[in-house]
Every structure is written in C-alpha cells, then in structure tokens.
C-alpha cells in the first residue's frame, strides 16, 4: 500500500519509470486477445443457455432466466479463456516485481507457451468464471429492469438508459469485484521462500482473504 493506490499515483509512477506513453499500452496484444475471446465466449454462452432455458421464439425477457443464462455463460467463458486472461494479467503487473522475479513474456503467444509449460493454465479459473458470470448475470437484468420500469415515469427519455446503465454498473461491480481480486492473486502468485504457494485454490484464497 506504500506505493499508493489512487489512479493518478499509479499513472505518475509508471510515467516517471521511463518509457513514456508506450508503457501505458503494456500487454496490448494480450488485452486484444482477451477481449476478443471473452466477448465471443460470454455472448455465445449467454445466448446458448438462454435458448436452452426458453426456446419459445415469442418469448419475453425474464430477469430470472437472464440471470441464470448470464451466470452459466459467464462461468463457461471465464474457465475457457482463463489462460489468455492469466497471461494478460501477468504482463500488466510484471514491472512491479524485481528484475529477477519478472516473467518477461514477449507477447501473448509466448506467455501462453510458458504458462502451458508451467502447468497452470487453469489456475484461478473458477474465480475468473464466477467473476464474468456474476458480471453478466447482474448487469443485463438490472439494466433492462431499470430502463423499462423508469419509462413509465420519464417517458421516452435518454435518462432511462443513463441511470439504468449507472445502476447496472454499480450492481455488476459489487457482485464481481471479490472474484476479480481472487483471480488476480491466483494468476500472479509466486512460491513463498519455503517453496509453497500462498493459495492452494480459489476457495482457499477466498477463505484467507476473508
């Protein structure tokens, strides 16, 4: 915590360390790969499970089915793309470590090969899947419910989408952030001086954080 945690303090530290604006785009290829994989898998998973829950083409949106489909689709997507997300996370934080402890991935493909050699491709996959699942299941339903119900009070106003988005983001962040913290710790952890890893699993990490 001595390093500071406010965004401007982190920005200032990265900028003063050298490299200029280029350092702000560290892991760009990993971010692009993660975004493409995550978006594709999440949307495909949500639609697949929603069609399975309610195959009627005349269906109306039901919040409970949307939440279940979002949770299932996000869980599957998070587990499937966990290796890519791990490489991206490690590339982002690598410069925070001393030189001897850095992983120095050249690009996302080099990182995936090294993660595979390390045998940890699905370390933290449960936490990552739950993170995306809770994010997808809470935001979509909250947004639709808020927007459609406020229509009766505000009419066809842009404020419907504006406040519904704010509410959905708040709920989504609150629901997914604990799993995001677990995922980050699992993805970036290294053995302790005695050679033992700090966490045995996502559940063990959650228990120790609590």
36-61 pLDDT, tens digit per residue, is: 887 888 888 888 888 888 877 676 66
Does residue 5 lie within any of the structural domains?
no
Check if the beta carbon of residue 4 is closer than 8 Å to that of residue 10: yes
Q: Which domain holds residue 80?
A: 27-209
78-130 pLDDT, tens digit per residue, is: 899 899 999 989 988 888 888 888 888 888 889 999 999 998 999 999 999 99
Does residue 131 lie within any of the structural domains?
yes
Check if the beta carbon of residue 98 is closer than 8 Å to that of residue 136: no
149-208 pLDDT, tens digit per residue, is: 887 777 888 888 899 999 999 999 999 999 999 999 999 998 888 889 999 999 999 999
Does residue 80 lie within any of the structural domains?
yes
Q: How many domains does the chain have?
A: 1
Does residue 102 lie within any of the structural domains?
yes
Does residue 67 lie within any of the structural domains?
yes
**HSE-up of 7 (CA within 13 Å, CB side)?**
1
pTM value is: 0.76
Does residue 165 lie within any of the structural domains?
yes
Alpha helices in 25-158, H assignment, sequence order: 28-53, 63-80, 82-93, 108-118, 125-154
Does residue 8 lie within any of the structural domains?
no
Per-residue model confidence (pLDDT) at position 62: 74
Q: What is the CATH number of the domain that holds 124?
A: 1.50.40.10
Does residue 130 lie within any of the structural domains?
yes
């Amino acid at each position: 915590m001595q390093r500071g945690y406010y965004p401007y303090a982190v920005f200032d530290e990265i900028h003063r360390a050298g490299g200029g604006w280029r350092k702000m785009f560290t892991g760009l290829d990993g971010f692009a790969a993660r975004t493409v994989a995550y978006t594709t898998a999440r949307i495909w998973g949500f639609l697949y499970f929603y069609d399975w829950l309610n195959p009627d083409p005349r269906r109306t949106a039901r919040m409970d089915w949307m939440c279940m489909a979002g949770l299932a689709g996000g869980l599957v997507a998070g587990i499937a793309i966990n290796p890519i997300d791990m490489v991206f996370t490690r590339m982002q934080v690598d410069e925070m470590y001393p030189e001897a402890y850095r992983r120095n991935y050249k690009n996302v493909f080099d990182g995936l090969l090294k993660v595979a050699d390390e045998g940890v491709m699905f370390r933290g996959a449960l936490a990552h899947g739950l993170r995306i699942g809770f994010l997808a299941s809470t935001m979509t339903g909250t947004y639709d419910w808020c927007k459609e119900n406020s229509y009766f009070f505000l009419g066809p106003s842009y404020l419907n989408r504006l406040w519904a988005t704010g509410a959905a983001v708040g709920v989504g962040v609150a629901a997914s952030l604990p799993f995001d913290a677990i995922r980050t710790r699992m993805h970036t952890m290294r053995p302790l001086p005695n050679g033992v890893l700090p966490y045995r699993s996502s559940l063990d990490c959650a228990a120790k954080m609590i």
